[in-house]
Amino acid sequence: MTDERSAPAGAVLVVGGGISGLTAALEAAEVGKDVFLIEKNPYLGGRVAQLNQYFPKLCPPSCGLEINFQRIKANRRVRVYTMTEVKSVTGGPGKYQVTLESKPRFINNNCTACGACADACPDERDNDFNFGMNKSKAVYKPHDMAFPMKYVLDKNACSDAGLQAVKDACKYDAVELDMAAKEFTVDVSAIVWATGWNPYDPTKMTNLKYDSSNAIITNMMMERLAAPNGPTGGKILRPGDNKEPASFAFVQCAGSRDENHLEYCSYICCMASMKHINYIREQYPTAKITVFYIDLRTPGKYEKFREKLMSDANITWVKGKVADIVAEADGSVTLIAENAVTGDKIKETVDLAILATGMEPAAKAQAAALGLSVDSNGFILADAEGGMVSAGCAKKAADVVTCGQSATAAAMKAIQASRR
């Protein structure tokens, strides 16, 4: 990686290293643009990296991400900065000055990911990659196929003795305890905002009482539970007591299509829940599953996916939104809804309830400070002058396929802006 200030004119900044950002960065770089790709996390891959499988072909994330990582490695025009965020943007189309800040990783490029430091480290931290369902050492590899393949040290979670142990354990002199945050500025002609999404905070739906029971999880937690590199090694078990659930229920539109929360449809949750049913069926072929929904949105060819699941006799489909969840003494939960087709009130007790929480644009809180124009829901709007483009879930709630398309389109717009 060369000095960032020496980039030739017409460079593109891509903010966010998820599937959209990777795509936009590569599309721009592969036609000859210089690209700065920055990512807030210590690894690339974003939300897709956290999934067990993803649409359209139910591939493991290693499938699509690996090829993109190879392309990045092979392309000298892409400069990647992890643990880096945008501090401020000045200038205009064709000549933006963007101030970036990299947080210290405390592990330098000598790291070979041998893991000796983690073995030696006595301290632990909540593993946010697994939504806190397990712990990792305070010095950790973000996940098995992290890119860049380097450890990260969470200094706040580490005792002084722990820091010393970590430093002593490294044979390659990769631990730099005095590494400091670094601020730097890049000159770019266009910015692609691919800042992605966060799962909507389930505690905000007070009537669903997310905090009242371990038997209530979110759809993203379900991905981690089912993932081979997840907290349970891919076995779907109830957090807390590791019980094999005998029954499951899906709470669709948990926070989406709700003007008190996210007023839009998050687009992915119906198919995500159906995908989760597939995960469950692989491990529990006859477990009882109930899906509570308002409408099932299975666009295009996914209709077939739905039809297949609907022929499963052990799956009940209830048109009616869950509006109350009661934690039971035995660790299960009772979901309460009205079946809008029959008009009966339903109380369904299950071992594991999955809230199909929606997508909240990640840049929502930061957008105003950065001078981004956003719609009423916090999705980033394209700048009329053309220098700022949004892609993927920063633009609208979308699946991976749509993100790929919008990221390619964003790359095209960024290239056009840089040629003016």
Partner 1 sequence: MAEGMRVEPDLEFIKYLKSAGGDTLKKCYQCATCSVVCPLSNDTKPFPRKEMIWAQWGLKDKLVADPDVMLCHQCGDCTTHCPRGAKPGDVLGAIRAYAYIHYGFPSGLAKLVSQGKNLPLIIALPALVILAVWWLSGGMTLPAADAIDFGMFFDSHKDHPTIIGGLTLNVLLIDAIFVPALGFAIFAAYKGVSKMWRDMAAQLEVKTEFRPSAKQFVTEFLVPSIKEILAHKRFKECGTNQNRVNGHLPLLLSFIALFVVTTYGMIRKDILGMFIEGMHGPIPLADPFKVLANISAIALIVGVGILWMNRAHAEEENNATPTFYDWFLIVKIMTVGVTGLSAELTRLIGIPVLAYLFYFMHLVSVLMLFIYMPYTKFAHMVYRTFAMAFEKYRESGFAQKIEG
Contacts (Cβ under 8 Å, ≥6 apart) of 414:
12, 24, 28, 33, 190, 191, 192, 389
Show the tokens assigned to 74.
């092979």
Partners of 249 in beta bridges: 290, 353
Provide, rounded to whole angstroms, the least separation between the CB of residue 199 and partner 1: 18
- Residues 87-126 interacting with partner 1 (rule: CB under 8 A): none
Closest to partner 1 by CB, 311 or 376:
376
Side chain identity, residue 269: C
Closest to partner 1 by CB, 322 or 363:
322
Stretch of residues binding partner 1 (CB under 8 A), selected from 216-224, 315-323, 356-364, 409-417: 315-323
Stretch of residues binding partner 1 (CB under 8 A), selected from 5-13, 147-155, 253-261, 300-308: 253-261
* Strand 247-254, strand 352-357: pairing: parallel
Provide, rounded to whole angstroms, the least separation between the CB of residue 334 and partner 1: 12
Strand, coil or helix: 403: helix
Nearest to 307 by CA among 296, 295, 319: 296
Provide, rounded to whole angstroms, the least separation between the CB of residue 336 and partner 1: 5
| 321 part of the interface to partner 1, by CB under 8 A | yes
H/E stretch holding 117? helix 116-120
- Residues 265-294 interacting with partner 1 (rule: CB under 8 A): 294
CA separation for the pair 78, 177 (Å, rounded) = 28
Closest to partner 1 by CB, 34 or 348:
348
Report the interhelical angle of 19-29 vs 61-74 (nearest 10°): 30
| 324 part of the interface to partner 1, by CB under 8 A | yes
Closest to partner 1 by CB, 169 or 323:
323
Residue 329-358 contact track with partner 1, rule CB under 8 A, x = bound: -------xxxxx--xxx-x-----------
Backbone φ, ψ for residue 135 (5° rounding): -115, 155
With CB under 8 A as the contact rule, the residue among 243, 261, 281, 306 that binds partner 1 is 261
Query: Is residue 263 within 8 Å of residue 237, measured between CB atoms?
Result: no
Q: DSSP letters along 159-176, please?
A: -HHHHHHHHHH-TT--B-
Q: For 375, how many CA atoms within 13 A lie in the half-sphere containing its CB?
A: 15
CA separation for the pair 386, 265 (Å, rounded) = 27
Q: Between vectors from CA 363 to CA 128 and to CA 81, what angle results, nearest 5°?
A: 65
Provide, rounded to whole angstroms, the least separation between the CB of residue 216 and partner 1: 16
Total residues at the site for partner 1 (CB under 8 A)?
Answer: 24
| 257 part of the interface to partner 1, by CB under 8 A | yes
Provide, rounded to whole angstroms, the least separation between the CB of residue 27 and partner 1: 38
Provide, rounded to whole angstroms, the least separation between the CB of residue 202 and partner 1: 15
Closest to partner 1 by CB, 243 or 321:
321
Closest to partner 1 by CB, 260 or 311:
260
Q: How many residues does the chain have?
A: 420
With CB under 8 A as the contact rule, the residue among 3, 160, 178, 259 that binds partner 1 is 259
Nearest to 12 by CA among 3, 25, 31: 25
Query: Is residue 142 within 8 Å of residue 39, measured between CB atoms?
Result: no
Show the tokens assigned to 18.
């998820």
- Residues 188-247 interacting with partner 1 (rule: CB under 8 A): 207
With CB under 8 A as the contact rule, the residue among 322, 388, 398, 403 that binds partner 1 is 322
Closest to partner 1 by CB, 101 or 258:
258
Closest to partner 1 by CB, 103 or 319:
319
Chain residues in the site for partner 1 (CB under 8 A): 207, 253, 257-261, 294-295, 319-324, 336-340, 343-345, 347
